[in-house]
Amino acid sequence: MRVQLVLSFVAFAAVGCGDNTQPQVLSGRIAPGFPMTVQTVKLLEGSHVIASARVAVDGRFRLWTLPKRGLTLHLVGAGRSTVVFPRQASGGVDRTFSIVGAGVDFDLGAIRYVGTAGTFAFHTTGDGACNADGQDANGAECVDDANNNDSGSCGNNDGEQQDGSDSSDGAADSQDGQDQGDAVAEHNFPSDGCADGNDNGGDPQDGEGGD
């Protein structure tokens, strides 16, 4: 898998998070193009479903969870698709993510089916580099991955980092049917686990993720 890095600069503003007693809200919109009709979005810790939400007629969903590590996001219909997270800083692709505390509501934006596609380009929403299908001029899938780089704004992030591995033991996978391939969100959930407003998807004043 090759990850193409096309960097865009994002202004950073310190907004604290890290309260491990308050829920983190995740929302998004299922884009057209999946090989199945996505009916439910499930958030899993290992093989256990810890939150789920039905997908509305317009493709939108909204769910919440308390801080957890090793999370995966499954889009479920007649089979399942896993949301993956290309990372600008590491050049890798994570299949799990962590939430360290209750940050601002985070909108993943449009979630698109990529199957086995392996080229991603990082752009800030609205910079004009991506077309309506979420691709740049070279056909790479566009992703906004603002990296909070452990600046301390999250307060309690003690080791709640991505391990880059899929922590599912397969039990829940079989219940959700055949693997239909991967999907990618318009806005990555931050790699440090804190939605603190330093990214488009995590800033409610930034057009709810630019959808």
Q: What phi and psi, each to the nearest 5 degrees, are found at residue 60?
A: -85, 155
| Within-domain flag for 113 | yes
Looking at every residue in the chain, the average pLDDT score rounds to: 75
Domain that holds residue 154: 24-210
Task: Read off the pLDDT of each residue in 73-100 and give the average, rounded to a whole number.
Answer: 91
Task: Tell me the pLDDT band of 10, cut-offs 50, 70 and 90.
Answer: very low
pTM for this prediction: 0.74
| Within-domain flag for 178 | yes
pLDDT of 69 higher than 50: yes
| Within-domain flag for 43 | yes
| Within-domain flag for 87 | yes
| Within-domain flag for 10 | no
pLDDT of 5 higher than 50: no
- Average the pLDDT over each of 16-30, 78-92, 152-166, 174-188 and give the range with the smallest value: 152-166
Single out the residue of 112, 139, 132, 134 nearest to residue 35, CA to CA: 112
Bridge partner residues of 141 (DSSP): 120, 135
| Within-domain flag for 16 | no
Beta strand extents in the chain (DSSP E only): 24-30, 40-45, 48-54, 60-65, 68-77, 79-86, 93-94, 97-99, 106-115, 120-122, 141-143, 179-185
Of residues 58 and 47, which shows the higher confidence score?
58
Number of domains observed in the structure of the chain: 1
CA dihedral 37→42→43→44, nearest 10 degrees, is -110
Q: What phi and psi, each to the nearest 5 degrees, are found at residue 108?
A: -70, -10
> What is the per-residue pLDDT for 121?
78
pLDDT of 127 higher than 80: no
- Scanning 134-203, the segments in alpha helix (DSSP H) are 171-175
Burial of 202 per CB tally in 10 Å (0-12, 13-18, 19+): buried
Q: CA-CA distance, 160 to 104, in Å (whole number)?
A: 18
| Within-domain flag for 7 | no
The percent of residues in the chain predicted with pLDDT above 90, rounded, is: 36
Task: Read off the pLDDT of each residue in 47-76 and give the average, rounded to a whole number.
Answer: 94
pLDDT for 147-173, tens place per residue?
A: 554 444 554 544 333 333 333 334 444
Q: CA-CA distance, 172 to 162, in Å (whole number)?
A: 21
